[in-house]
Amino acid sequence: MNQPGQSGRTELKRLPYKASFELSDLYSIIDENLVAHVGLVENGQPLVIPMTYGRDDDTLFLHGSSGSRLMRLLADNPSVCVSITELNALKVARSNFNSGMHYRSAVIFGKARLLEDDEKLAALDLISDSLIPGRVAEARPMTKKEAAATIIVAVKLDEASVKISVNEVDDPEEDMNLGYWAGTVPLKRGVGEVIPADAESQSLPIPESIKRFIERHQAER
Amino acid sequence: MNQPGQSGRTELKRLPYKASFELSDLYSIIDENLVAHVGLVENGQPLVIPMTYGRDDDTLFLHGSSGSRLMRLLADNPSVCVSITELNALKVARSNFNSGMHYRSAVIFGKARLLEDDEKLAALDLISDSLIPGRVAEARPMTKKEAAATIIVAVKLDEASVKISVNEVDDPEEDMNLGYWAGTVPLKRGVGEVIPADAESQSLPIPESIKRFIERHQAER
């Protein structure tokens, strides 16, 4: 996400990120983002699929889009690499070499375990409630048929690499006072105005879970 | 990103996305986003790294963070899968099963080719200018030493899967008029107030490239 910056004098200062070994950082990156990029190996070739997810303590639950293919793949090779990235700012230095981004990144390595029966039902609700807390209690309950048509895998959060880059611009002395500008451009995420789907929904109040989601994600960096 | 929805009657309507075979859709997803998740295979295991990138016609240029490891890996197995995902809205149906997201997703398969010399220099500038158009002309030029410390690979955009989900909520008849709410929650991206890095930058006008970046990304969905 950033320039390597292994060039002598300012090596330490210019490292593009700090590694974090705090579980709280890992959990925070997982909980405050909405999509994971899940890497698999298919016939020796890489495949990366975007998935929604939920977390319960030290377990990540992934909800894929291409059910049967995913299942076949994971039976073959259950190893997955789950990457979750949050972009927070452009760091614009006087040189592009020293420019980069403020970001938080989690790269998780593990084995995917396919869930069945009650464990799957619980994980389905957990994913819905991870995305929009409180949503399950407000929605029409899931049917057995719907659960059967869905694939969920669990990945233990045993091995992960967490990087956090919040480094401010730190141009070397020789780049200063030559008329080049440097600064930070914050990247923001937010939520637009909710659009009720139809007349029935228009006649109902916006559910509490949706209101909380909006409040939380509007307040974001 | 979405529920499979392979359940009989409304199968077609409930497909979570449409596949696009238009190059213009692929290019638009690439050009309007900032980060790619790049899948590699390392000793038979998947590895997914977030990278910034640029595009020139039908070639994608990737800028990695962990130079030497990346180079070693790609020498071993140049196959990559590059996934770029744009989340545009939560689609909240009456059931969580029929809920999902509005998104655009590109999954690109190819062989990474390591760039050297002039080709690398050109690609470095291209990536900077892809991210912030016009930035190269305004920044301190790259030195040979800086270019040598950077790894860039090229991937031809020959094989890609593009999915676009803009489906509105389409709850089945039996879920209607039971008091459940449904609607769409737009997810927005934007840009915050620019922070000049220091006194020199404060004394200078905000560069045109940065102004254009802000204008473009503030206007986004």
pLDDT in tens, chain A (221 residues): 433 333 333 334 445 678 888 999 999 999 999 999 999 999 999 999 999 999 999 999 998 655 567 777 887 889 999 999 999 999 999 999 999 999 999 999 999 999 988 999 999 999 999 999 999 999 999 998 888 888 899 999 999 999 999 888 999 999 999 999 999 999 999 999 999 999 999 999 999 999 999 999 885 54
The pLDDT tens digits of the residues spanning B186-201 come to 999 999 999 999 999 9
The pLDDT tens digits of the residues spanning B15-69 come to 567 888 899 999 999 999 999 999 999 999 999 999 999 999 999 999 865 556 7
ipTM rounded to 2 decimals: 0.91
Percent helix, strand and coil across chain B, each to the nearest 5: 30, 35, 35
Query: Beta-carbon neighbour count of residue A111 at 10 Å?
Result: 14
Domains of chain B: 8-172+180-187 (2.30.110.10), 190-221 (no CATH)
User: What span, in angstroms and rounded, lies between the C-alpha atoms of B54 and B109?
Assistant: 16
Chain B contact probe: residue of A40, A81, A101, A103 with most B CBs at under 10 A: A81
Give kind and range of the element (H or E) at residue A217. Answer: helix A208-218
Give the distance, in angstroms, between the CA of residue A179 and the centroid of all CA atoms in the same chain: 38
Are A153 and A59 in contact by the 8 Å Cβ rule? The answer is no
User: What span, in angstroms and rounded, lies between the C-alpha atoms of B141 and A94?
Assistant: 9
Which residue in the set A48, A168, A190 is minimally distant from B81, CB to CB? A48
- CB contact burial B190-211 (16+ within 10 A = b; e otherwise): ebeebebbbebbeeeeebebbe
Chain B contact probe: residue of A65, A130, A168, A177 with most B CBs at under 10 A: A65
Among chain A residues, CA nearest to B86 = A35
Among chain B residues, CA nearest to A201 = B181
Query: Beta-carbon neighbour count of residue B169 at 10 Å?
Result: 20
Are A82 and A3 in contact by the 8 Å Cβ rule? The answer is no
The pLDDT tens digits of the residues spanning B136-194 come to 999 999 998 888 888 899 999 999 999 999 988 999 999 999 999 999 999 999 999 99
The pLDDT tens digits of the residues spanning A18-52 come to 888 899 999 999 999 999 999 999 999 999 999 99
Give kind and range of the element (H or E) at residue B19. Answer: strand B18-20
DSSP conformation letters of B54-101: EEETTEEEEE-SSHHHHHHHHHH--EEEEEEEEEEEEEE-SBSTT-EE
Question: Checking DSSP bridges between strand B36-42 and strand B113-114, what pairing results, if any?
Answer: unpaired
The pLDDT tens digits of the residues spanning B31-40 come to 999 999 999 9
